[in-house]
Chains A and B, each alone.
Chain A
Amino acid sequence: MPTPSFDTIIIGAGLNGLACAGRLAQGGAKVLVLEAADQPGGGALTAEFAPGYRVDRLAHLVTHLDGRMLSALKPEAHGLNWAVKSMPTTVLSAEGRHLTLTGAYGASAPGLDPREARRWADLRARLLRHAEVLRPLREITPPLPGKGGAKGNVVALGKAGLALRRLGREEMQEFLRMILINVHDVTEESLTDDRLRGLLAFDATLGAFLGPRSPNSLFLLWHRLSGDAGHIRWPSGGMGALAAAVTRAVEATGAEIRCKARVERLLTDGDRITGVRLEGGEEITVSRVISTINPRTTLLDLLGAREIDTGLVRRVSNIRMRGTTAKLHLALREAPEFLGADLRHRLVIAPSSEAVELAFNAVKYGEFSAEPVMEIMSPSAHEAGFAPEGHHVLSIVAQYVPFVRRGGWDAGARDGLKAAIMARLEAHAPGIGALVTASELLATPDIADRHGLVGGSWHQGDLAVEQMLFMRPAIGIARYATPVPGLWLAGAGSHPGGGISGAAGWNAANEILGAA
């Protein structure tokens, strides 16, 4: 066994593992990050899927990157450049009546008729104000109900309280009314334009096992807006370049990152963490391990149910992780033509809130949507290096696609899913099918297999009101610590949830430094 020159091991070099490593190393810890893949980044990964064609394999847009991490680790000084700092969104229409929103979450939407534009301005402002209440909560360890202000959190809680009070009486009532409401009802009472309503419905349910009519779907929209105030960013070189820059920034803090090092077992002396065992058998002695991979995998597979109490095993077994998202990558021999839409925008096919709800219906019964809704992004429209000259790639996040499909996920099912997505594309970009020279489909279970996202869940545990804050990932382990001394959780499964962010990792590091 090598002599322990590290006092902390972090499992997983996704954004959370990286953020946690950087923060802890800056705080004086000797950190070793162990990453199973051959490069760091986790969900932030750019890869070739056909000779000469590259694409962001999983996450393809940035909406939540943690500001504390950006200012403390300064990845910009290590090569991070933003190709786009505020990407417009265009809601596609099969008749070419597209709607484009620009600025921070549609600060301007010139395609709306003037009355609808006013209604949208009102709703948008309200949503952003409400999201502002939630924003301080992203940056704290979830407080326990009835335990008052835990140390260090009083300030952030106070900020949330202040933001709530600043809303004023009426607005606060409105906030409380809307907390558990669904996004469909909100857009129905506030808006009339189906394109706009479809977009809000899509954004609120992206990555969730929810339809726009599901209770608390509005909450996820707030969650999205509480990140980067509604701006969508995309890094030059793709998500892989973002990961590489953050990696360099983390390495500059002194933390070491080892790839192709899959942790297969957490070691204990029956009491506390003593180390990890890697695939291949190597054991590393360490008294503190922070896992940023799935909480259930961590506790039940790497640690083992035997080491924790049955009540917790129960709760961890019951965390709902139901991915609904697939990815389709297309290599195109020339630029596709979405009836005049700008390929540099985020393109959304979600013709109405009802269409999103209908698409959701299928997944409830173990089927993929016959008419999926989707978000399309083309890296090659922004930069060279993603496709041969004149060619293009599209990265498509499509919903709803079940993890467990009735009848199983055989080749026929995958073909059917691809055909369903292509049919929607064809309807919005006639002739696109004929341009495709290569493609890669990642159905929900493929994403689970390749990226360790249990159930294909975007957030390593559905982000829903009943799995938030002190209930995330489960009661008793929501404050990043686990009952096993020395073992911590800091991935997307923990508060405040997933996305290319690093917030959970940063929060956990703060908690650990406070506890040390």
Chain B
Amino acid sequence: MTDQRHHFRQPLQRSPFHPRIEAANVLNAWAPWAGYTTALNFGDVAMEHSAIRSTASVYDVSPMIKYAIEGPDAVAYLDRLTLRRVAGMPVGGVQYTAWCNDAGHVLDDGTLFRFDETRFRLCCQERHLPWLLDSAIGFDVTIRDVTEEVAGLSLQGPTSFAVLKAAGAAELADLKPFRMAEVRLGPVGPVTVSRTGFTADLGYELWVAPERALDLWDHLMISGRLHGIRPVGTEALNIARIEAGFITANADFVCAEHALRPDRARQPDEIGLDWMVDLDKGPFNGRAAIRAARRDRTLKWALVGLDIEGNISAEGSIVYLGGRKEVGQITAAVWSPTTKRNIALAQLLRPWHRDAGDKLRVEIYALRELQYHKLMLPARVVKRPFFNPPRRRATPPAMF
């Protein structure tokens, strides 16, 4: 093991895929993510987004924080920790979930993988070990940060199944969304494949031991050559995830543990996660507070999708009611190449998420050759996801 005291010499860690990513990162577009250096793009964001929606893309998700949660009480523990019911989750299932503090404020969201009766993995944006450990008091369960023990590669796009088939995993034809399976991929060996992703498209996430990461990368690239596979960076993925209507911690909501201002923390209902909350499953962190907020109608915010006139991205804009009254702000926005609409995620004060009709206006400062033009563009609350193709769910997936 390298001397831990020298960690400061390399402030950002390198993912197991780094050698390949570095070679492909022709513009040296790097950004930190959870302590790792990661690629923002590989030279052409439009082509990368197009790969996600038209062919196949690979995106390195190794920096995701991963916790192994194991033990006889793992189910009971997770039921107390998270918002959704875990007891009914099948072995081999995957659940998108979130968890709260005592005040019912969301600490993070993430995906929960069930390997067998007693073994789970929780993947998320932020580090939570102290909270997870303190939540384990009274449960027979062990919790370990395994972030560095698992490399992850997200394979997304209409031809992603074709790529996997070519790679030797034809049996994944039967894998349904939010399920996972173990397959052997030729030169790579065992790979855990889950039909999950952050794009609302057909897609998979592949999990391997770090030593196998480069073999996995190479094998996919070779197998996918005829299926239009290409590596994508965070910028392209971000467009796809906004189209999918997914929220990101510390972008669309502030994790309660990071929130400095008392009014920044959000309950699940305030960030569109109300559907997750299972008030009938028994005690879980935040239940009483969530119940009370619903009963006393103290919820202040709502997270919505907006369809905005024009084609100028509304990132960071303030949302007005009838041009004067501030009723919220945009947390993510993009001109969506897939839907050809100007879309955004926004936090709106209640009840304007419901009652604003056609009165919402978004204030956009459009930079045109060194001059800002202030625009007040009409916006409508619309359903998320903005893009939701049937191929996302089709089992077996179509061969494109």
Cβ-defined partner of B131 (8 Å) among A304, A310, A476:
A310
Residues on A with C-beta less than 8 A from B283 are: 270-271, 306-309
Residues on A with C-beta less than 8 A from B137 are: 300, 305, 313, 317
- A-contact 0/1 string along B279-293, CB 8 Å cutoff: 000110111100000
Residues on A with C-beta less than 8 A from B76 are: 306
**A280 within 8 A of partner (CB):** no
Residues on B with C-beta less than 8 A from A300 are: 137-138
Query: What residue in chain B is nearest A307 (Cβ atoms)?
Result: B283
A483 to B103, CA, bound (A): 11
**A114 within 8 A of partner (CB):** no
Contact A305–B138 (Cβ < 8 Å): yes
Query: What residue in chain A is nearest B281 (Cβ atoms)?
Result: A270
A309-B101, A311-B101 given; A304·B134 CB < 8 A: no
Residues on A with C-beta less than 8 A from B241 are: none
Residues on A with C-beta less than 8 A from B139 are: 305-306
Contact A311–B102 (Cβ < 8 Å): yes
Residues on B with C-beta less than 8 A from A119 are: none
Most chain A CB inside 10 Å of its own CB: which residue of B81, B101, B138, B139: B138
A476 to B289, CA, bound (A): 12
**A312 within 8 A of partner (CB):** yes
A99 to chain B, nearest CB (A): 50
Query: What residue in chain A is nearest B100 (Cβ atoms)?
Result: A309
Contact B138–A310 (Cβ < 8 Å): no
- A-contact 0/1 string along B4-42, CB 8 Å cutoff: 000000000000000000000000000000000000000
A295 to B50, CA, bound (A): 60
A476 to B80, CA, bound (A): 19
Query: What residue in chain B is nearest A268 (Cβ atoms)?
Result: B283
Contact residues of B between 54 and 110, Cβ < 8 Å to A: 76, 80-81, 101-103
B276 to chain A, nearest CB (A): 17
Residues on B with C-beta less than 8 A from A310 are: 81, 101-102, 131, 134-135, 285
What is the interface residue range for chain B against chain A?
A: 10 to 19
**A314 within 8 A of partner (CB):** yes
Query: What residue in chain B is nearest A476 (Cβ atoms)?
Result: B102
Count of A-B residue pairs with CB < 8 Å: 45
Most chain B CB inside 10 Å of its own CB: which residue of A270, A271, A306: A306
Residues on A with C-beta less than 8 A from B286 are: 309
Interface size on A, residues (CB 8 A): 17
A331 to chain B, nearest CB (A): 44
A22 to B123, CA, bound (A): 53
A21 to B285, CA, bound (A): 32
Contact B102–A306 (Cβ < 8 Å): no
A42 to B239, CA, bound (A): 67
Contact A270–B102 (Cβ < 8 Å): no
- B-contact 0/1 string along A281-322, CB 8 Å cutoff: 000000000000000000010001111111111100100000
B282 to chain A, nearest CB (A): 4
B137 to chain A, nearest CB (A): 5
Contact A483–B288 (Cβ < 8 Å): yes
Contact B288–A309 (Cβ < 8 Å): yes
A104 to B101, CA, bound (A): 50
Residues on B with C-beta less than 8 A from A309 are: 101-102, 283, 285-288
Cβ-defined partner of B80 (8 Å) among A306, A311, A312:
A306
Residues on B with C-beta less than 8 A from A308 are: 283
A313 to B102, CA, bound (A): 10
B38 to chain A, nearest CB (A): 31
Most chain A CB inside 10 Å of its own CB: which residue of B76, B134, B139: B134
Contact B288–A306 (Cβ < 8 Å): no
B350 to chain A, nearest CB (A): 25
Contact residues of B between 262 and 291, Cβ < 8 Å to A: 282-283, 285-288
Query: What residue in chain B is nearest A485 (Cβ atoms)?
Result: B288
Contact residues of A between 226 and 271, Cβ < 8 Å to B: 270-271
Residues on A with C-beta less than 8 A from B135 are: 310, 313
A56 to B102, CA, bound (A): 43
Query: What residue in chain B is nearest A308 (Cβ atoms)?
Result: B283
Residues on A with C-beta less than 8 A from B131 are: 310
B122 to chain A, nearest CB (A): 15
- B-contact 0/1 string along A455-498, CB 8 Å cutoff: 00000000000000000000010000001000000000000000
A428 to B286, CA, bound (A): 59
Residues on A with C-beta less than 8 A from B134 are: 310, 313-314, 317
A312-B102, A476-B102 given; A306·B138 CB < 8 A: yes
Contact B102–A304 (Cβ < 8 Å): no
Query: What residue in chain B is nearest A483 (Cβ atoms)?
Result: B288
A232 to B81, CA, bound (A): 50
Residues on B with C-beta less than 8 A from A304 are: 138
Query: What residue in chain A is nearest B288 (Cβ atoms)?
Result: A483
Most chain A CB inside 10 Å of its own CB: which residue of B81, B131, B283, B286: B283
Residues on A with C-beta less than 8 A from B138 are: 300, 304-306, 313
Residues on A with C-beta less than 8 A from B81 are: 310
A312 to B135, CA, bound (A): 10
A317 to B138, CA, bound (A): 11
Query: What residue in chain A is nearest B289 (Cβ atoms)?
Result: A309
A410 to B286, CA, bound (A): 45
Query: What residue in chain A is nearest B73 (Cβ atoms)?
Result: A306
A298 to chain B, nearest CB (A): 13
A287 to B80, CA, bound (A): 23
Cβ-defined partner of B282 (8 Å) among A270, A311, A317:
A270
Query: What residue in chain A is nearest B279 (Cβ atoms)?
Result: A271
- B-contact 0/1 string along A181-216, CB 8 Å cutoff: 000000000000000000000000000000000000
A483 to B291, CA, bound (A): 12
Residues on B with C-beta less than 8 A from A312 are: 102
Query: What residue in chain B is nearest A301 (Cβ atoms)?
Result: B138
A311 to B102, CA, bound (A): 6
Residues on B with C-beta less than 8 A from A307 are: 283
Query: What residue in chain A is nearest B101 (Cβ atoms)?
Result: A311
Residues on B with C-beta less than 8 A from A271 are: 283
A305 to B285, CA, bound (A): 11
Residues on A with C-beta less than 8 A from B101 are: 309-311
Residues on A with C-beta less than 8 A from B80 are: 306
Contact residues of B between 114 and 171, Cβ < 8 Å to A: 131, 134-135, 137-139
Contact residues of B between 282 and 311, Cβ < 8 Å to A: 282-283, 285-288
Residues on B with C-beta less than 8 A from A306 are: 76, 80, 138-139, 283
A135 to B325, CA, bound (A): 51
Query: What residue in chain B is nearest A309 (Cβ atoms)?
Result: B102
Contact residues of A between 310 and 364, Cβ < 8 Å to B: 310-314, 317
Residues on B with C-beta less than 8 A from A476 are: 102
A70 to chain B, nearest CB (A): 38
A59 to chain B, nearest CB (A): 32
A306 to B137, CA, bound (A): 8
- B-contact 0/1 string along A108-129, CB 8 Å cutoff: 0000000000000000000000
A475 to chain B, nearest CB (A): 10
A164 to chain B, nearest CB (A): 30
A308 to B76, CA, bound (A): 13
14 A-B pairs (CB sep. < 8 Å): A270-B282, A300-B138, A305-B139, A306-B138, A306-B283, A308-B283, A309-B283, A310-B131, A313-B135, A313-B137, A317-B134, A317-B137, A476-B102, A483-B102
List the interface of chain B (C-beta within 8 A of A).
Answer: 76, 80-81, 101-103, 131, 134-135, 137-139, 282-283, 285-288
20 extra interface residue pairs, beta carbon distance < 8 Å, beyond A300-B137, A305-B137, A305-B139: A270-B283, A271-B283, A304-B138, A306-B76, A308-B283, A309-B101, A309-B285, A309-B287, A310-B81, A310-B101, A310-B102, A310-B134, A310-B285, A311-B102, A311-B285, A312-B102, A313-B138, A317-B134, A317-B137, A476-B102
In the A-B complex, the 10 residue pairs with the closest CB atoms? A305-B138, A311-B102, A309-B102, A270-B282, A310-B135, A305-B137, A309-B285, A314-B134, A307-B283, A310-B134
